[in-house]
Amino acid sequence: SIWMGESEFNGKNFLTTYMPLVDYKGKAKGMLCMSLLETLVEELVESILFVCIITWVIILALYFILAYRIRTKLIRSVEVLSERVSVIAEGDLTTEIEENTYAQEIHQLSSDVREMQNKIREMVLPIAKASEALVGSMQQLSGASMQMSNAANRQAASLEEISSSMEEMGANIQQNTENSMHTNKIA
């Protein structure tokens, strides 16, 4: 087993480590001893700690600088493009997407979105025109339907008058028939 401890030699403190040397059968063949001045170890630890702290400060500074650059270059470009796409998604196909404000990858994406917008315009424009024509046809059909409904109502009223007149004529004929039969009996 390894032994670690402090030792003193010529009035100086040492950190000492003893480690047995064994062969492949596990038999002890000797002892390895390593000693370092305690002040040297303390200086070494302080130096390592100082280097670690400086390294972390540099890494954090680089991180914040890189994060700021990514934010201003890439993320802002994505936000602007996202705003434009949201406007298009709401149905406004007239908004324009600038192409010179984006990073290279975002530039390609904005070009693709602009191309998609143009294709959607090409598809929607004939549909919009057909819809307008359809609305016009529906209005004409509605007008013709109203005219037919009014004509049918007038004809129904005329038929009702004719039916009423025919009922009166039927009643008169019936009355005449009865009068005629009564006259025939008297005669």
How do residues 35-44 score in pLDDT, each as one tens digit? Answer: 777 777 788 8
In what order do the strands lie in the sheet containing 28-37?
A: 3-9, 12-22, 28-37
Residue carrying the six token digits 């009014």: 150
Model pLDDT, residue 142: 84
Across the range 146-151, mean pLDDT stands at 86
Residue 54 in this model has a pLDDT that exceeds 60: yes
Angle at CA 19, nearest 5°, toward 16 and 23? 160
Nearest residue to 2 via CA among 12, 22, 11: 22
Residue 36, H or E segment:
strand 28-37
Q: How confident is the model at residue 52 (pLDDT cuts 50, 70, 90)?
A: very high
Spatial distance between the Cα atoms of 38 and 50, rounded to a whole number of angstroms: 18
Helix extents (H) in the chain: 38-70, 76-89, 104-186
Share of the chain above pLDDT 90, in %: 9
* pLDDT at site 133: 85
What's the one-letter identity of residue 126? Answer: P
pLDDT of residue 14: 80
Closest of 87, 83, 105 to residue 95, by C-alpha: 87
pLDDT digits (tens, 9 = 90+) for 78-124: 777 788 788 887 877 777 776 655 567 677 777 788 888 888 888 88
Q: Which of 40, 44, 3 is nearest to 20 (CA)?
A: 3
pTM for the full model?
Answer: 0.36
